[in-house]
Structure 1
């Protein structure tokens, strides 16, 4: 039976109580007004007391009858809050109130739940968070429409005297968009056959290019392959940046032709490094080449910050920092540059995309200082990956880092 079916019964019960109350009051006044032979005052007291008792019973009965109505009102309010659309939707959700069985206890009102497209940050205990973080960090990860590379990649390795950690994590701006975009960063690591040289390549596809993830993957893969060839043919001191970037550009252009798209659709920037084994004093020499705004940084074991070493530096004094790059592959390989740096024992070299480099270069935050402390020595690959996935305001781009530590890290 529906809970609505008991309403007429409650109504009749209320009327009966009212009639009974009126009858008793009238009888009491008649009783009081009539003369009594004996015990007149005592009879009057009992009559008035009876009126008080019946009146109190009527009031309590009315209050108990009103309680289910208030409970039903609370249930309706709870249902409305639970099933109503999000604020600002401007519509009211219909509520079906029919019941086919006995009334059951209703759940108590619960605090409002998070919006359905937001989740509580599942990585707050693992990734470092700076300031208030980025709102997009808490959005669900979505998949792009086409088959693409994984959203996360990570490695750890030892090459001769060098300890290596690498990770690439898709940024909130790409994984949470509608539609979602692929991770446009890519890295490759390698070594010479005798492990006397470590080879690293980090590429960052341009967001304006529809197939930049494919361009970045081609660039990083070809860079390591071609650098192995150069080491074998001309040696570490004969590495040729013009030949390297020219041949990488040819590979990307051929890939674009195979997909039937223009070369601008696969635009990417690239930075590479080759580290030679340390000398007798533990000092290592590194050759770095770059085209675009990915960058190389060094960390002295006793320094408090990562120091910019190579790459296309951005003007941090400008009111708005531009993400426009001066050169890119495969269109302008001739703009690639290179130089050699030395790494003292215990010094680390990091190759990063601008998703990390921009955060390190920002003097307003403490992100650089955190990473200088966190990566002063090698950490497990899982910890390294979590760090690369850091949460900070306005940091929405993909982020990739490959770090090599030279020998002694005390």
Structure 2
């Protein structure tokens, strides 16, 4: 038995010695490779050295996990320093065991130095209000957006609309209110007429924001129905349109178990042909209830054509509003000469045009041609002492009299 056992032991010792030699050989070869990779490439004409395509391990001053990922330098280019590469681990090697080039990361352009430009400040009319600098507050219940803006082209008309909650409603920490103004844009089925409506919910009516939204939609749809029946502009029935709006406002209140007094609102609606008459002008129809107003921009100033501003101690008191007195609505035709502009406004905008010459001059100049919807919104965010109501305007620009768009 000693013979076979001795043979087996001898074979085991030989195998162990062979494995130890191979491991030592492999370690020695790897150290030589790393030493050669760490040595700088020789100058052109010097003694041959390691290939410039070998990767260079990252320096100690830069952590390995932050080393730049770049492809190897092109082989065969004498005098070119080797490019940096990640450590030669098994995850970076292909089937041949050589390091594989990794993709170069895209470097984003850095932000330009200096502060980011801010939005222009809203215009100040007469005197600034202390409320403007106060933070906006949220109403107690979910509400419509505090700001809204739109732009559209219908026929040859350019229309812009914007609405913003007033500082008096948005800055009260305990009783912040939703935006109680609303607007709606539409057209008849044949796209021959633009139909617009604005509404101003009454501040002492708890759900007037809902009333304003319902009223504008109802008025646009009621007028569209008449236009689709080919009723001419001068025969449009404003009373039936406001009766329809009153019925829908009252129906919403009844569905939600709200008293009718909680959904009070005033409103106005207008119809503008989407193409001019043979002489270049347009016959327009407007109708309104309460202190919502229709204005025409003429050559020198804005002219109020619908809606009255009450004066005296009862300037804030209204006697006609939805859903109680739709029969008090008034309607009338207007004629726009070439170059004249129509605007429907709530009293947050109409009052400043009525009371402040500076506002007349400012908006006469700024709205001489179509503006971007965000610019219109900025204009409505004007700052003025004791003028803190919601503001809404829908402005309609026909083409300029010189021809073409403004």
2:48 — aligned with what?
A: none
Distance in 2 (CA, whole Å) between partners of 1:250 and 1:216 is 13
2:290 — aligned with what?
A: 292
- Structure richer in helix, relative to its length: 1
Of 147, 172, 189, which aligns to 2:142? 147
Q: C-alpha offsets along residues 20-79 of structure 1, whole Å, 9 cap, x if unaligned?
A: xxxxxxxxxxxxxxxxxxxxxxxxxxxxxxxxxxxxxxxxxxxxxxxxxxxxxxxxxxxx
Conservation of the 8 A alpha-carbon contact between 1:344 and 1:406: no
After TM superposition, the structure 1 = structure 2 runs for residues 8-407 of structure 1, keeping only pairs within 5 Å, are 125-177=120-172, 178-237=174-233, 238-276=235-273, 277-300=275-298, 302-303=299-300, 305-315=301-311, 318=312, 320=313, 322-363=315-356, 365-407=357-399
Distance in 1 (CA, whole Å) between partners of 2:373 and 2:384 is 21
Q: Following TM superposition, by how much is the alpha carbon of 1:131 offset from its aligned partner in structure 2, in angstroms? A: 3.2
**Could you list the runs of 4 or more consecutive aligned residues of structure 1 that deviate by over 6 angstroms after TM superposition?**
none
Q: Following TM superposition, by how much is the alpha carbon of 1:308 offset from its aligned partner in structure 2, in angstroms? A: 0.8
Gaps of 5+ in 2: 1-116
Conservation of the 8 A alpha-carbon contact between 1:284 and 1:406: no
Q: Following TM superposition, by how much is the alpha carbon of 1:191 offset from its aligned partner in structure 2, in angstroms? A: 1.1
Secondary structure, counterpart of 1:366 in structure 2: helix
TM-score, normalising length: structure 2: 0.67
Distance in 2 (CA, whole Å) between partners of 1:338 and 1:123 is 43
Distance in 2 (CA, whole Å) between partners of 1:193 and 1:409 is 28
Distance in 1 (CA, whole Å) between partners of 2:276 and 2:255 is 42
Equivalenced residues, count:
283
1:8 — aligned with what?
A: none
2:82 — aligned with what?
A: none
Q: C-alpha offsets along residues 334-359 of structure 1, whole Å, 9 cap, x if unaligned?
A: 10110000011111001000001111
Distance in 2 (CA, whole Å) between partners of 1:172 and 1:236 is 41
Conservation of the 8 A alpha-carbon contact between 1:186 and 1:217: yes
Distance in 1 (CA, whole Å) between partners of 2:283 and 2:136 is 41
Q: C-alpha offsets along residues 222-250 of structure 1, whole Å, 9 cap, x if unaligned?
A: 11111111101142333111111111111
Conservation of the 8 A alpha-carbon contact between 2:126 and 2:358: no
1:119 — aligned with what?
A: none
Conservation of the 8 A alpha-carbon contact between 2:200 and 2:265: yes
Conservation of the 8 A alpha-carbon contact between 1:291 and 1:312: no
Conservation of the 8 A alpha-carbon contact between 1:203 and 1:219: yes
Aligned alpha-carbon RMSD (Å): 1.6
Conservation of the 8 A alpha-carbon contact between 2:152 and 2:160: yes
Conservation of the 8 A alpha-carbon contact between 1:143 and 1:181: yes
Secondary structure, counterpart of 2:270 in structure 1: strand
Gaps of 5+ in 1: 1-121
Conservation of the 8 A alpha-carbon contact between 1:377 and 1:409: no
Q: C-alpha offsets along residues 196-234 of structure 1, whole Å, 9 cap, x if unaligned?
A: 100000000000100000000000011111111110114
Distance in 1 (CA, whole Å) between partners of 2:118 and 2:213 is 27
